[in-house]
Amino acid sequence: MRTVRATAAETADWPPLETLLRRKTGWRVKRETLTKLAGPIQLLMTRKGLPDRAALVRHLEQDPDALQEIVDALTVNETYFFREPAQIDLFSRVLVPEMLDRKSATEPVRILSAGCATGEEPYSLAIALAERYGVSQARDRFRLIGVDIDRMALDKARKGVYGRGAFRRLDAALLERYFEPADQGRRAIRPEIRRLVAFKQCNLLETPYPDDLAAMDVVFYRNVSIYFEPEARRRIFRNLSEILVPDGRLVVSATETLSHNFHLLSLMEVDGVFLYGKKTAGPATRGGSGPPPRAPGPFAAAPVLKPEQTGNPVPAAPPAAAETPKSVNARRREARDLAAAKSYGAALAALDGLMAEAPDYLPARTLKAALLLNRGPAHRDAARQLCESVLAQDSWCIEALLILGIAARAGDDPETAAKWFKSVVYHQTDNWLAHFYLAGIFKAKGQTEAARREYAIVVRLMEKGRFPDHGLPFFHLAFSQEEIIHLCRENLRRELR
Ligand SMILES: C[S@@+](CC[C@H](N)C(=O)[O-])C[C@H]1O[C@@H](n2cnc3c(N)ncnc32)[C@H](O)[C@@H]1O
């Protein structure tokens, strides 16, 4: 056999090969990356007796197996179990229960891991489902499929045997529960979990997709698009949008979210996690027999409040009647720190003590109201009553007005919410958070002009650097300034045209 030489430098400087790979895979292939191909190319040319590089490119065009060898050599399969755990938690806690609600008892929820590499992502989803529903229910109620372009990665996924790096973020209890010892210190996924996932080779750029990828309820498509040319990225996102059922959800990695806002799907935020959703089919397409379209509920794009995690300084509070300002402030700060550490019971008890001793110290009441609101619907009324009691003493308390608006909004009462947010902007015209909420309420009611006006105000305020002035001093927002601006601009540019 005649050996054909293809040096790293020659491989890297080879536009026809770059073009071919880009066309077939959508990848933006960098020259440095192509140097990785010198070995595989040399082997292939020798094996097939190809005399030169032009013959090789012709051969790759015609022989999918040969092309596959080159593709396998180029993929980057970096992955691990429970990568971006907040997304996996949201999947099992919120997305899946919603999907199950829409299905009959015999209809499985269909889940795709697109670009699954060596299987850690779909197996993580399978483990999350097994944790929530038990293995036997998971087997009956879900269909999980992982696809990738890389055959070798898929072979490894099917075997399900992993070294230490794959478990770098996995909880020790889950490791114990779902893996068994294998050779060379590795661990094998337990067969009952392995059987929950099917694997298939698929190039996400090429349509039509195989039939078993139709009608997906949830698609995970994370850390794949980074390698694509912008046009390929858009095409693949479109392909994946098309296989989603109405109301289906598509999850991309947090770092990729904004680069996928192609307006093919709606960008949404749930519990601080961004994802994409396919618009609900109206009653007509549901044949009139399905459940009525649901209110946006927690999917409405809006900032989410989270307890402050850092020890940010507490803003000056008004003097208290019964104690010096310093001591009440310090005690309120302690309560806030307890809440940040998720000791909500202790935080509330500390605030109750403070309120009993300094009944006129209103910041203790607004903090308690905010904590109660954050604890869920059962505490909403108590939060509301506290804020109303604050307003009885200080009708200008922005924090109380905002909390009342947010509580009404969370209780699906947009009229009342709008009333409270309007009083905020009446008292404090540059409160962007109230303008932002008002924009969302107007948009939901179809009042396009009013919504546009409010979004434009938010953008203006952001440009003036008013982001930190949202009026809720003890909480930070799950959205960054950049994301708020992005959402507002998108609404102005497209959604409200
Ligand atoms: C970095 S891994 C991501 C794995 C996993 N989704 C995660 O987030 O941990 C990217 C995977 O995308 C796959 N991939 C790249 N281009 C693809 C294409 N056109 N079709 C299908 N898979 C592709 C690669 O083979 C690789 O396994």
Is the distance from the beta carbon of residue 75 to the nearest atom of ligand 1 less than 6 Å?
yes
Is the distance from the beta carbon of residue 127 to the nearest atom of ligand 1 less than 6 Å?
no
430 touches 469 (CB < 8 A): yes
Is the distance from the beta carbon of residue 79 to the nearest atom of ligand 1 less than 6 Å?
yes
Domain spans, the chain:
8-73, 85-282, 305-495
Per-residue pLDDT for 306 more than 60? no
The CATH number corresponding to 85-282 among 3.30.2350.10, 3.30.70.1560, 3.40.50.150, 3.90.180.10 equals 3.40.50.150
- Share of residues in the chain with pLDDT > 70 (%): 86
Distance separating the N- and C-terminal Cα atoms of the chain? 66
Most confident of 20-29, 78-87, 339-348, 472-481: 78-87
For β-strands 305-307 and 475-477, DSSP reports them as antiparallel
- Share of residues in the chain with pLDDT > 90 (%): 48
Residue nearest to atom 7 of ligand 1 (CA): 79
Identical topology for domains 85-282 and 305-495: no
Model confidence band, residue 11 (pLDDT cutoffs 50, 70, 90): low
Per-residue pLDDT for 54 more than 60? yes
Residues 382-394 have pLDDT tens digits of 999 999 999 988 8
Residues 312-366 have pLDDT tens digits of 333 333 444 444 444 788 888 888 888 877 788 888 888 988 898 888 889 999 9
256 touches 223 (CB < 8 A): yes
Task: Please indicate whether residue 272 or residue 432 has the higher confidence score (pLDDT).
Answer: 432
DSSP 417-441: HHHHHHHHHHH-TT-HHHHHHHHHH
The reported pLDDT for the residue numbered 37 is 82
Per-residue pLDDT for 465 more than 50? yes
Model confidence band, residue 298 (pLDDT cutoffs 50, 70, 90): very low
369 touches 383 (CB < 8 A): yes
Is the distance from the beta carbon of residue 153 to the nearest atom of ligand 1 less than 6 Å?
yes
The reported pLDDT for the residue numbered 478 is 60
The reported pLDDT for the residue numbered 41 is 86
Of the residues 68, 84, 123, 148, which should be mutated to test ligand 1's pocket, given the most ligand atoms within 8 Å of the CB?
148
The reported pLDDT for the residue numbered 208 is 93
Residue nearest to atom 17 of ligand 1 (CA): 149
Residue nearest to atom 5 of ligand 1 (CA): 116
Is the distance from the beta carbon of residue 83 to the nearest atom of ligand 1 less than 6 Å?
yes
CA of 353 to the centre of ligand 1 (A): 55
The reported pLDDT for the residue numbered 496 is 66
Is the distance from the beta carbon of residue 233 to the nearest atom of ligand 1 less than 6 Å?
no
The reported pLDDT for the residue numbered 474 is 63
The mean pLDDT of the chain is 84
Index of the ligand 1 atom closest to the CA of residue 205:
19
- Domain 305-495 adopts which CATH fold? 1.25.40
User: Of the candidates 122, 114, 18, which has an alpha carbon nearest to the alpha carbon of residue 74?
Assistant: 18
Is the distance from the beta carbon of residue 157 to the nearest atom of ligand 1 less than 6 Å?
no
Q: What is the mean pLDDT of residues 228-245?
A: 92
Task: Please indicate whether residue 310 or residue 264 has the higher confidence score (pLDDT).
Answer: 264
Index of the ligand 1 atom closest to the CA of residue 118:
27
CA of 447 to the centre of ligand 1 (A): 42
Residues 409-426 have pLDDT tens digits of 888 899 999 999 999 988
Of the residues 224, 225, 256, which should be mutated to test ligand 1's pocket, given the most ligand atoms within 8 Å of the CB?
224
Q: What is the mean pLDDT of residues 298-316?
A: 36
Per-residue pLDDT for 79 more than 90? yes
